[in-house]
């Protein structure tokens, strides 16, 4: 609504007037032109009434809501108009723009007489006319004020009287600078006129009079400081007028609504009064408060309002609601002829315009669907008054118009800058409105038979109602679409494309899928299969389609139908069939009781028809044949197991399959395949028996299942590899996985790695590989051996077969080594154990050898390959340390052998033996020792070995000796006793209720666990996958109890003969003897080569004690032997030069004489002696050992000379005593005080 002042934008009008003097009119026009340059009014701080304050609560930090007490009006557009040109009676203009917030009266007079005679009267006449320039809208109305008093509705005018300086006074300057009497007279008169104005028109509470200090002469000299006071008074008066207007409008609305129960009360009048307040708030820029009032108005409409439904006016179905109002809604409210249709349309239009003003375009678009739903729900019972398709056409128009108008608002609000989050929300709301318009088009298409009444269009078909036959539609697009199917299809495609584009930008995947589904359905209905197929393919391959269950099955159904019409039995057809079966599987889990519309049996037949024998089709994740494996215990028959698994067929008919497979895996990553040949799966539960040939046992987790069809594989992964955030999650996941228990069996084939009981360190280390065939013959046996770490196995061609003690060498099996780590045997008889020595090179310094052993073979009665894989740990370290210390004498070498048991390896040790080589001129002997010694952990046992030179034999070479030591570990003895006890129990027991091979398992367990605790054995049964309550488990546990009772009474020396014993007892006795046999370690020992052995003998006086300071003369005899040196080669020098040195430390002895010298020795002359004379002087008392004598070879030498020196008598020396000295006595020479001695003298008797 435009005001007369501006013609386009509404502004607030401020009137001005002046008195009738000609100069006053001229000066007023000049002042008004200068004042307009400082308008509009800015930053008005307004405190509205409490009712207005509560319209817009704001959130506090403590969670409560509060309303700001002060409203800031940033800018108020105002226009100065002459009072005579102002008209306040045009009620088409809102009251705010007809109500002058302040009236200005400019006085240009400096003569008090003229003021009293004329100007004052004109001012009073002006004030009397001001009420006639107030809006007459509230004349005759009454309202209630505080206290409950009923008073007339009245708006008092605000006015200001502005005294202008006369031109003559302004030119003369200030009163202080005037020199003439007239100047002083004018200044005095001016002050007098201002005072009289204030006295006449100011009140005790309001100041209506102010004066301008000066008036600028032109716009270039328009100083803002001149107008500060005037503008401040204008703002104050404006705020007062606005406050009274808002308060009056609010009181009128509240007073009228208080009489809502009266018969004369009208909802239209109530809304009209609130509308006046809304217009005022909107004009003040308080848009949020206005929106709050509209919400109150919307909530005020009672459900049973007596308004006519409306919508029957021409053009209502295409009426634009956003933008300028197209209907005189306020006039309808005043006349009381408004309809429900117009009521809701007006509220929606006004609310949307206000939201658009705030820039909340997305909120306008988001509230539009709710508005459409409200109006259509209101008008649907009254369709007999509406034209056919009115609701669809009107909804279509509102949705499209909202999209266009809001898009224009958004472009205007954002300009060149775009907010990414707002644009995404805008496109999302736009897609929702366009989808709403699409639904209306589909409804009209079904109604006009442009679209068939079938899915998916039938879901959007309108409900049948009675319509007015004489009425017609006015929306051009809809009328053209109804009249032509081609136009209808074009419009549908266009809107659907726009919807998909907007939904894509808005990130609304499900709306994109729905729109694309409708577009593809439209193309399929029009038999445009070439255009529809890419759309169906995109939909079927979209990752979010399974989350839209309503579209999942129809998409695949339509895709198959489209391919069937175009080109069946192509790769695309095969992919479509697989995707359709995946859809059936997903819907079976997420919507098990809903109809999918897909024939699963037909799809399976199509899948088998599209596959090929060379490349069968694999379908992952199929759940039509459900394997219900919770915790299954298999039944073992030798090295084959049988598993009974229930398979639930969800198919409507019987399915003949070629095979059924189940893959299981254990923690060692051993994978097994359980298979059943051709079988027919009937609807419901089918118990299927699967078999697997394997010697492995333990718990296996189910990995995958497979149903094999002709040229097709239906697979389902039971449990994939997942990453767990914690150990607890991993354990919980492990407990939930279905498991299959394969029981252990002692008759199956296996492989073992042991260390030989006789170890020679002068040869390559090796381990022994044992192959046990078990109870059946083996064919095509392949053994793979691989090491982990730095230790490596030599190629298989260098392995050596070990001849059993009871067989001859001619029974060596036929075996080959096709690869460096592969051993192959064509046939192994049953109950056979063969062994090979496998050398190691190099041998790392590790305590254990980690080897991966894989045994592959075929049974003698079938063609199924068995695989046995284990990671075996074989100890390589010796259970003790050996330390050797040599002590050379002239004709004898004494070697001290120390054996130290490891911290975790107690053992029993026999005395060592030393064997000399045949060509060695040295004999070795070990003193006779007692029985074997028991060494506790970290305990040491020492033995002495004596090496002696044979007389007359030269030592031309240094052949090594062989040191052999026999030992037995504590584990060997414990296993030997346990197996001996077991042999005794089995020999004295009647027939036991266990299976063949259980005795072998019991032997291995006794050697592995070395415990008789029942709880440990029950845990072992779980590892064997035995039922703890079974007869075989109870039998084994009873045998273990008897073995535990007999174990303490046996010893390894017992050789009590047993009666005729069964094979199990015989095997236990042989194993016990094997463990009881001594282990032997043989290592080479070299006798060191020493060129000279020196024996030092001290010849001292026979006295035992000498006095300190007394010297003695000693002789040092040195005997030198060359018997431990190698014989000299021809041409080699036979002289050795030795230097002796008597080392005096000057702390015990001082040595006089030849302390150092050199001897030339001829090695061919045999042992020789030399003597050293010396005098020793002790320097301290006590036992003083003689000084050390050092012997060392010196040049010239042709080769390094090794020399060993020892003293014949251990630590020789003398006791040195201090010399005798004078006797010393203590005499007290201190002086005596007579005073202290007097009492004693007086008291003497």
Q: What is the DSSP string of 70-138?
A: -EEEEEE-EEEEEGGG-----TTS-HHHHS-S-EEEEE----HHHIIIIIHHHHHHHHHHGGGGS-GGG
pLDDT surpasses 90 at 160: yes
Confidence of residue 3 (pLDDT cuts 50, 70, 90): very low
* 1242: CB partners within 8 A, 6+ apart: none
d(CA 1216, CA 1106): 5
pLDDT surpasses 80 at 203: yes
pLDDT in the model for residue 241: 93
Comparing 41-45, 446-450, 453-457, the range with the smallest average pLDDT is 453-457
CA within 13 Å, CB half, 813: 25
Question: Which residues pair with residue 1181 across a beta bridge?
Answer: none
pLDDT in the model for residue 809: 43
Q: What is the pLDDT of residues 58-69, one digit of tens each?
A: 544 444 555 567
Q: What is the mean predicted confidence (pLDDT) over 765-785? A: 92
pLDDT in the model for residue 657: 95
CA within 13 Å, CB half, 862: 11
Question: Strands, DSSP E only, in 535-630?
Answer: 617-620, 625-627
pLDDT surpasses 50 at 174: no
pLDDT in the model for residue 611: 66
pLDDT in the model for residue 1057: 66
- Return the C-alpha torsion angle 649, 652, 656, 657, nearest 10: -40
pLDDT in the model for residue 1060: 64
1096 against 1128, higher pLDDT = 1096
User: Pairing between strand 655-657 and 679-681?
Assistant: antiparallel
d(CA 1075, CA 651): 61
pLDDT in the model for residue 170: 59
pLDDT surpasses 50 at 4: no
pLDDT in the model for residue 317: 84
Confidence of residue 720 (pLDDT cuts 50, 70, 90): low
Confidence of residue 261 (pLDDT cuts 50, 70, 90): confident
pLDDT in the model for residue 1123: 85
pTM (predicted TM-score)? 0.66
668 against 1056, higher pLDDT = 668
Question: Which residues pair with residue 635 across a beta bridge?
Answer: 642
Fold of 622-742: Immunoglobulin-like (2.60.40)
Q: What is the pLDDT of residues 832-866, one digit of tens each?
A: 899 999 999 888 777 789 999 999 999 877 778 88
* 1238: CB partners within 8 A, 6+ apart: none
Confidence of residue 1055 (pLDDT cuts 50, 70, 90): low
Fold of 1092-1217: Immunoglobulin-like (2.60.40)
Confidence of residue 614 (pLDDT cuts 50, 70, 90): low
- Return the C-alpha torsion angle 442, 443, 445, 446, nearest 10: 120
CATH number assigned to the domain covering 878-1084: 2.60.40.1230
pLDDT in the model for residue 305: 66
Q: What is the mean predicted confidence (pLDDT) over 1143-1163? A: 88
Q: Which long-range contacts (CB under 8 A, 24 or more apart) does 23-27 make?
A: 23/108, 23/166, 23/167, 24/106, 24/107, 24/108, 24/109, 24/164, 27/106, 27/108, 27/164, 27/167, 27/215
Most confident of 673-687, 1129-1143, 1197-1211: 673-687
d(CA 334, CA 137): 12
Q: What is the pLDDT of residues 300-314, one digit of tens each?
A: 777 656 788 888 888
pLDDT surpasses 60 at 142: yes
Q: What is the mean predicted confidence (pLDDT) over 758-769? A: 92
pLDDT in the model for residue 175: 44
pLDDT surpasses 60 at 434: yes
* Terminal-to-terminal C-alpha distance of the chain: 151
Please give the biggest Cα pair distance in the chain: 171
Q: What is the pLDDT of residues 919-964, one digit of tens each?
A: 788 889 888 778 899 999 999 999 999 999 887 777 777 788 999 9
Q: What is the pLDDT of residues 779-833, one digit of tens each?
A: 999 999 999 988 999 999 999 998 775 434 446 788 999 999 999 999 999 988 9
Q: What is the DSSP string of 684-732?
A: EEEEEEEEEE----EEEEEEEEEEEETTEEEEEES------SSHHHHHH
pLDDT in the model for residue 949: 85
Q: Assign domain 12-38+76-214+222-253 to a CATH class.
A: alpha beta
d(CA 885, CA 269): 124
Q: What is the mean predicted confidence (pLDDT) over 1204-1220? A: 88
Q: What is the mean predicted confidence (pLDDT) over 1231-1235? A: 70
pLDDT surpasses 80 at 575: yes
Please, is 223 exposed, middle or buried when counting C-beta atoms within 10 Å of its C-beta (0-12, 13-18, 19+)? Answer: exposed
pLDDT in the model for residue 725: 61
Q: What is the pLDDT of residues 112-139, one digit of tens each?
A: 899 999 999 999 999 999 999 999 888 8
Q: What is the pLDDT of residues 454-474, one digit of tens each?
A: 888 887 666 666 666 666 788
d(CA 1025, CA 700): 10
d(CA 1180, CA 1109): 8
Comparing 178-187, 658-667, 1090-1099, the range with the smallest average pLDDT is 178-187
Question: Which residues pair with residue 1139 across a beta bridge?
Answer: 1158, 1192
**What's the mean per-residue pLDDT of the chain?**
86
| HEC readout, 1159-1177 | EEEEHHHCCEEEEEEEEEE
pLDDT surpasses 60 at 756: yes
Most confident of 85-94, 210-219, 425-434, 911-920: 425-434
CATH 2.60.40.2430 fits 750-875, yes or no: yes
- What 3-state class would DSSP assign to 907? strand
Are residues 661 and 675 in contact, defined by beta-carbon separation less than 8 angstroms? yes
């Amino acid at each position: 609504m435009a005001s007369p002042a501006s013609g386009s934008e509404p502004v607030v009008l401020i009137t001005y007037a002046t008195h009738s003097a000609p100069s006053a009119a001229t000066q007023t026009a000049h002042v008004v032109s200068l004042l307009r340059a400082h308008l509009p009014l800015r930053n008005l701080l307004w405190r509205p009434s409490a009712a207005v304050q509560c319209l817009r609560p704001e959130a506090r930090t403590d969670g409560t809501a509060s309303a700001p007490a002060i409203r800031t009006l940033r800018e108020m557009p105002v226009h100065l108009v002459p009072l005579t040109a102002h008209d306040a009676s045009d009620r088409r203009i809102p009251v705010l723009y007809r109500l002058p917030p302040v009236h200005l009266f400019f006085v240009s007079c400096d003569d008090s007489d003229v003021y009293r005679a004329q100007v004052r009267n004109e001012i009073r006449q002006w004030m009397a006319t001001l009420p006639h320039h107030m809006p007459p809208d509230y004349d005759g109305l009454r309202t209630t004020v505080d206290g409950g008093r009923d008073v007339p509705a009245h708006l008092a005018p605000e006015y200001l009287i502005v005294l202008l300086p006369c031109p003559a006074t302004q030119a003369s300057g200030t009163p202080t600078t005037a020199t003439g009497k007239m100047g002083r007279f004018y200044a005095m008169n001016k002050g007098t006129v201002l005072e009289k104005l204030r006295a006449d028109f100011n009140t005790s509470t309001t100041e209506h009079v102010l004066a301008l200090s000066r008036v600028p002469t032109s716009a270039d000299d328009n100083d803002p400081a001149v107008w500060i006071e005037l503008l401040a008074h204008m703002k104050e008066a404006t705020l007062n007028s606005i406050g009274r207007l808002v308060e009056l409008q609010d009181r009128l609305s509240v007073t009228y609504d208080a009489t809502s129960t009266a018969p004369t009360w009208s909802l239209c009048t109530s809304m009209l009064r609130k509308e006046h307040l809304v217009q005022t708030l909107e004009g003040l820029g308080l848009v949020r408060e206005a929106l709050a009032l509209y919400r109150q108005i919307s909530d005020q409409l009672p459900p049973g309002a007596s308004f006519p439904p409306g919508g029957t006016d021409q053009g209502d179905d295409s009426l634009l609601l956003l933008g300028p109002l197209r209907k005189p809604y306020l006039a309808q409210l005043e006349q009381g002829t408004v309809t429900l249709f117009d009521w809701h349309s007006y509220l929606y239009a006004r609310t949307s315009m206000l939201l658009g003003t705030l820039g909340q375009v997305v909120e306008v678009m988001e509230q539009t669907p709710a508005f459409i739903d409200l109006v259509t729900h209101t008008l649907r019972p009254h369709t007999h008054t509406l034209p056919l398709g009115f609701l669809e056409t009107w909804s279509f128009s509102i949705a499209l118009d909202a999209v266009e108008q809001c898009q224009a608002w958004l472009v205007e609000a954002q300009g060149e800058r775009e907010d990414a989050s707002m644009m995404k929300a805008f496109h999302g709301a736009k897609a929702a409105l366009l989808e709403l318009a699409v639904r209306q088009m589909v409804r009209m298409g079904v109604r006009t038979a442009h679209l068939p009444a079938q899915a998916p269009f039938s879901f959007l078909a309108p409900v049948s109602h009675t319509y007015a036959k004489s009425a017609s539609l006015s929306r051009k697009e809809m009328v053209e679409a109804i009249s032509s199917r081609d136009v209808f299809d074009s419009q549908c495609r266009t809107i659907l494309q726009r919807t998909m584009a907007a939904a894509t930008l808005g990130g609304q995947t499900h709306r994109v899928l729905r729109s694309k589904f409708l577009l593809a359905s439209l193309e399929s209905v029009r038999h445009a299969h070439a255009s529809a197929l890419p759309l169906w393919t995109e939909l079927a391959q979209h990752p979010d389609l399974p989350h839209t269950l309503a579209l999942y099955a129809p998409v695949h159904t339509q895709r198959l139908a489209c391919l069937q019409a175009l080109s069946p039995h192509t790769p695309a057809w095969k992919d479509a069939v697989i995707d359709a079966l995946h859809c059936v599987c997903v819907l079976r889990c997420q919507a098990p009781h809903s109809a999918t519309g897909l024939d699963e049996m037909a799809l399976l037949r199509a899948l088998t028809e599209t596959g090929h024998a060379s490349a069968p089709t694999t379908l992952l994740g199929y759940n039509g044949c459900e394997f219900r494996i919770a915790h299954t215990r298999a039944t073992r028959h030798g090295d084959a197991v049988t598993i009974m698994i229930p398979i639930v067929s969800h198919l409507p008919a019987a399915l003949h399959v070629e095979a059924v497979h189940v893959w299981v895996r254990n923690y060692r990553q051993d994978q097994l395949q359980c298979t059943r040949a051709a079988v027919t799966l009937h609807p419901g539960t089918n118990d299927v028996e699967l078999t697997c040939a394997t010697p492995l046992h333990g718990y296996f987790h189910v990995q995958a299942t497979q149903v094999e069809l002709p040229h097709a594989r239906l697979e389902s992964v039971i449990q994939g590899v997942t990453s767990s955030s914690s150990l607890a999650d991993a354990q919980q996941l492990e407990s939930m996985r279905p498991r299959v228990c394969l029981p252990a069996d002692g008759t199956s084939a296996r492989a073992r790695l042991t260390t030989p009981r006789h170890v020679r360190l002068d040869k390559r280390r090796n381990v022994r590989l044992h192959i046990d065939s078990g109870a059946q013959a083996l064919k095509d046996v392949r053994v793979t051996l691989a090491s982990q770490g730095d230790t490596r196995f030599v190629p298989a061609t260098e392995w050596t077969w070990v001849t059993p003690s009871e067989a001859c060498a001619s029974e060596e099996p036929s075996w080959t080594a096709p690869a460096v780590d592969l051993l192959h045997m064509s046939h192994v008889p049953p109950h056979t154990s063969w062994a090979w020595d496998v050398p190691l090179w190099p041998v790392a310094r590790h305590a254990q050898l980690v080897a991966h052993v894989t045994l592959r073979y075929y049974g003698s009665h079938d063609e199924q390959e068995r695989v046995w894989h284990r990671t075996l740990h074989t100890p390589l370290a010796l259970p003790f340390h050996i330390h050797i210390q040599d002590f050379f004498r002239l004709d004898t070498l004494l070697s001290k052998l120390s054996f130290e048991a490891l911290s975790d390896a107690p053992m029993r040790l026999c005395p060592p033996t030393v064997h000399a080589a045949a060509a060695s001129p040295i004999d070795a002997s070990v003193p006779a020792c007692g029985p074997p010694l028991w060494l506790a952990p970290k305990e040491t046992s020492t033995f002495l070995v004596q090496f002696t030179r044979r007389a007359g034999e030269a030592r031309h070479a240094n052949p090594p000796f062989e040191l052999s030591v026999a030992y037995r570990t504590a584990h060997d003895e414990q296993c030997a006793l346990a197996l001996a006890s077991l042999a005794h129990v089995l020999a004295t027991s009647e027939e036991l209720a266990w299976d063949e091979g259980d005795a072998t398992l019991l032997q291995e367990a006794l050697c592995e666990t070395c415990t008789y605790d029942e709880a440990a054995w029950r845990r072992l049964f779980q590892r064997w996958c035995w039922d703890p309550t079974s007869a075989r488990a109870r039998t084994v546990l009873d045998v273990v109890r008897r073995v535990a009772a007999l174990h303490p009474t046996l010893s390894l020396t017992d050789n009590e003969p047993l009666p005729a014993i069964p094979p199990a007892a015989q095997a236990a006795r042989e194993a016990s003897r094997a463990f009881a046999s001594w282990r032997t370690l043989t290592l080479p020992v070299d006798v060191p080569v020493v060129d000279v052995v020196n024996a030092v003998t001290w010849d001292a006086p026979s006295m035992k004690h000498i006095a300190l300071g007394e010297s003695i003369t000693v002789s040092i005899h040195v005997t030198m032997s060359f018997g431990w040196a190698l014989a000299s080669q021809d041409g080699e020098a036979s002289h050795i030069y030795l230097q002796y040195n008597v080392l005096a430390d000057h702390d015990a002895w001082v040595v006089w004489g030849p302390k150092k010298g050199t001897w030339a020795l001829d090695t061919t002359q045999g042992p020789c002696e030399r003597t050293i004379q010396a005098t020793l002087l002790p320097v301290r008392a006590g036992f003083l050992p003689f000084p050390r004598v050092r012997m060392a070879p010196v040049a010239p030498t042709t080769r390094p000379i090794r020399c060993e020196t020892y003293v014949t008598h251990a630590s020789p020396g003398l006791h040195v005593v201090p010399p005798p000295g004078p006797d010393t006595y203590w005499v007290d020479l201190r002086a005596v005080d007579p005073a202290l001695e007097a009492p004693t003298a007086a008291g003497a008797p």
